[in-house]
Structure 1
Amino acid sequence: MTRRKHDKTEHPQEQPDEGEGRGGLEAATPHDALFHFAFVDPRHAAAELQCVLPQALSAKIDWSSLTPEQGRFVDAKLLSRYSDLLFSARIGQRRGLIYLLFEHLSSRKRLGLLTLLEYMVRIWQAHRKRYPREKRLPVILPVVLHHSETGWTAAKRFREILDVDSEVLTLLEAFIPDFQAVFDDISRVDPRALKARAMTPEGKLVLFCFRVGRTPDELVKWLPEWGDVLMAVARSPVGGLFISAVMQYLEEVTKLGEVGLKTAMQQALGNSVAEKILFAGERLIERGRREGELAGQRAVLLRLLAERFGALPRNAVASIEAATPSDLEKMVSRVLTASTLEDVLGKKKRRRGATPPRS
């Protein structure tokens, strides 16, 4: 991922006080881990967003400027159901924010637009805290990626949750908040339609895993039609890392375990194709074993981090060079699930209220 020099509006927020209690570096759920692993990469996020945004709006966004921002705004107690990512991008002639919220649950509890509005307000509050002299707030475009057993059943526009007569609502329109989010409800989308989307193979594969991963029979049913997508991912420059992340996710959500999942893939795709795909992930582990020594392990970690995050800053390289064998092992375990380079390295969060310097 190429890093760009940002102006002051490209990092408009820091993690708000409400999110300080999330605790630890590990992702809350397998869904959260795979969502962040894939869509923190602007290439995959941009492709997903372009598939769901109105064409006229999408045309106004400079997708080459899409940049992931630090900070997560979902309540800690809701991490088992929601995941979020915040991006900045040039929208028209100004910088704006795109808030991508993933709702992954099977219970009857649903994200309400009031909760979504609360998260958006947190983003604006963090922006004001960091840039108190700015007179205007950046626009926030809310996008909800949803998957559940029933699909999205709640209101899609804020006015729909207000208890007011329609005639009175018309008179109140100028005085009350009203908005709607962009929804991508993949709960019942045909996997063929997901495959046909104009997305990166990696992005398609992740949506496919979310769509059918919880039901082993569905996964096995559709795997043969997705073999070419899996192969495309496996052959990419970071294919081994991506296949490892996907396999880790499917092992956990299908409850098949490593052996059961490999067997299912072999039955669905055939031994030859399955082995080529699985080898892409296994070669990462084998590479470390092959190089063996501590220096080799450091080299493997540096290569993996460079593949995920682009050119590494000197302090990151220094941290890896100075890491103990135990620290290196922890860093490697975080590569698949961490959203940022700092998370992989185990860097401590800034103390509450501290404001980073503008870049």
Structure 2
Amino acid sequence: MSLTEKYIWCILMDKVLKLVDLNTLEISKDSFIEKDLAEYHSDILYKVKLTNGSQGFIYVLFEHKSYYDRFVHLQLLEYMVKIWRLYIKQHKKQPDFLPIVIPLLVCHARKEWPEDTVRLASLLSGPVDDLTAYIPNFGFELYDLHRYSDDQIKGTIASRVILLLLKHIRDPDFRQKLPGIFALMQALMKKETGLQWLEVVIRYLASALEEDELTWKQIKEIAEQAISKETGGYVMTLEEKVRNEGKQEGLVEGEQKGKLEGLKEGIELGITLKFPGDIDTVMAEVNKIDDLGTLKEIKETIKTAKDISEILALLK
């Protein structure tokens, strides 16, 4: 079990743990969060065998919003459908059954999440009981950090560090909370995996903290006082690593965006010259495409196309 997975299991219900074989746990690289929601959510998908031998998934959604999202069920349902569609796509032979997806929500909204709203039917009005056959009334496992005091958050040191960070990251006094959280890491830093855990923490702080909340110099000083001077040096090294990765990612995304825009401009010019009466219809669909290969194919087809139907066929 990897470092990023260990802390999940302290918050899963016993009834779920009894039905999964943790020895088969495998993390999936797939994420189902839309880009415009990445600021508010992160997710992890695990493949796992159930105790009866069938395939299953555990989908963990981390809710980073500071407010209670009453309709999160709809997001979870969308992600579950995406997981099932991906599962079907990955099998050349259509599977006889779909795997069970167990949704787990880890949230730290300032308003406590009502326990009676974990099932989708709680959103519906009308004769729900009489129409249950037509309602996808799934529920999700809920771990609401604000239901627990810091002392009540149990588990391994690593899991407590991560969960306390999630709980307090939006608190006005987070700067006062961080020394205590770092102090928990003293034992971790003595282990072989200590630096890996520190990197997990630094990456989370880099993605979640607002620019005016804490400087990296302040975080370094807190780490030095709470753990060790050496750890403070590691903090700055890891921060530089994360920052450089972000710059590189930005360059790649910028290059990709430039290529997409260039191809779309070329397509627009080609359609204007050959099929000017259809420019609005074609470009409305072309502008939805973010795949370089598809756009290149459209651009090449324009050169030889004798009728607009050849282009429209590529847009379906």
Determine which structure has more spread, i.e. the larger CA radius of gyration: 2
Q: Determine if the alignment matches structure 1 residue 231 to structure 2 residue 186.
A: yes
Match of 1:4 in 2: none
Q: Deviations over 1:52-105 (max 9, x none)?
A: 333132122111211011211122221111111110111112121110111101
The match for 2:160 is 204
CA contact (8 A) 1:144 1:181 kept: yes
1:158 is matched with 120
Mapping for residues 6-17 of structure 1, pairs under 5 Å? none
> Alpha-carbon deviation of 1:240?
2.2
Q: Distance in 1 between matches of 2:60 and 2:176?
A: 29
Structure 1 residues 249, 72: CA separation in 2 closer, same or farther (over 3 Å shift)?
Answer: closer
| 2:79 counterpart letter in structure 1 | Y
2:107 is aligned to: 146
Partner SS, residue 216 of structure 2: helix
Between the aligned partners of 1:237 and 1:332, the Cα distance in structure 2 is: 25
Instruction: Kindly state the Cα deviation for residue 282 of structure 1 after the two structures are TM-superposed.
Output: 5.5
Aligned to 2:257: none
Task: Give me the whole-angstrom Cα distance separating, in 2, the residues matched to 1:274 and 1:160.
Answer: 49
Structure 2 counterpart of 1:63: 22
Matched ranges for 1:90-239 at <5 A: 90-93=49-52, 94-107=54-67, 109-131=69-91, 132-153=93-114, 155-165=117-127, 169-194=128-153, 197-199=154-156, 201-215=157-171, 217-221=173-177, 223-224=179-180, 227=183, 229-239=184-194
Q: Does 1:262 align with 2:223?
A: no
CA distance, structure 2, for counterparts of residue 155 and residue 130 of structure 1:
34
Kindly indicate whether the alpha-carbon contact (under 8 Å) linking 2:68 and 2:113 is maintained by their aligned counterparts in 1: no
Equivalent pair of 2:223/2:232 in contact (CA under 8 Å): no
Code of the aligned partner of 1:262 = K
Q: Distance in 2 between matches of 1:260 and 1:47?
A: 27
Deviation of 1:221 (Å) = 4.5
Q: Structure 1 residues 193, 330: closer, same or farther in 2, change over 3 A? A: closer
Distance 1:103 1:192, change over 3 A: same
- Give the corresponding residue for 1:76: 35
For 1:261 and 1:62, locate their aligned partners in 2 and report how far apart those are by CA, in whole Å: 39
Corresponding residue for residue 54 of structure 1: 13
Aligned-partner Cα distance in 1 for 2:185–2:166: 15
Identify the structure with bigger relative contact order (alpha carbons < 8 Å, sequence gap 6+).
1
* Total equivalences in the alignment: 249
Distance 1:140 1:245, change over 3 A: closer
Q: 1:58 to 1:238 in 2, by over 3 A?
A: same
Corresponding residue number in structure 2 for 1:275: 229
Distance change >3 Å, CA 280–CA 118, structure 1 → 2: same
Partner of 2:269: none
Asked whether the equivalents of residues 239 and 281 of structure 1 are also in contact (C-alpha less than 8 Å), the reply is no
Identity over aligned residues, as a percent?
24
Contact 1:220–1:265 (CA under 8 A) maintained in structure 2:
no
**8 Å CA contact retained: 1:44, 1:202:** no
CA contact (8 A) 2:66 2:170 kept: no
Counterpart contact for 1:242–1:281, Cα < 8 Å: no
TM-score, normalised by the number of residues in structure 1: 0.59
Give the structure-2-normalised TM-score: 0.66
Tell me, in whole angstroms, the C-alpha distance in 1 between the residues paired with 2:232 and 2:182: 14
Q: Distance in 2 between matches of 1:204 and 1:221?
A: 13
Partner of 1:321: none
Unaligned runs of 5+ in 2: 250-290, 295-316
Moved over 6 A (4+): 329-332, 350-353
Question: In the TM superposition, what is the alpha-carbon distance from 1:247 to its structure 2 partner?
Answer: 3.8
Task: Answer yes or no: is the 8 Å Cα contact 2:165–2:181 preserved in 1.
Answer: no
Alpha-carbon spacing, 1:75–1:247, altered in 2? closer, same or farther (3 Å): closer
Q: Distance in 2 between matches of 1:144 and 1:111?
A: 13
In the TM superposition, what are the counterparts of 1:289-308 in structure 2 within 5 Å? none
Distance 1:46 1:247 in 2: 18
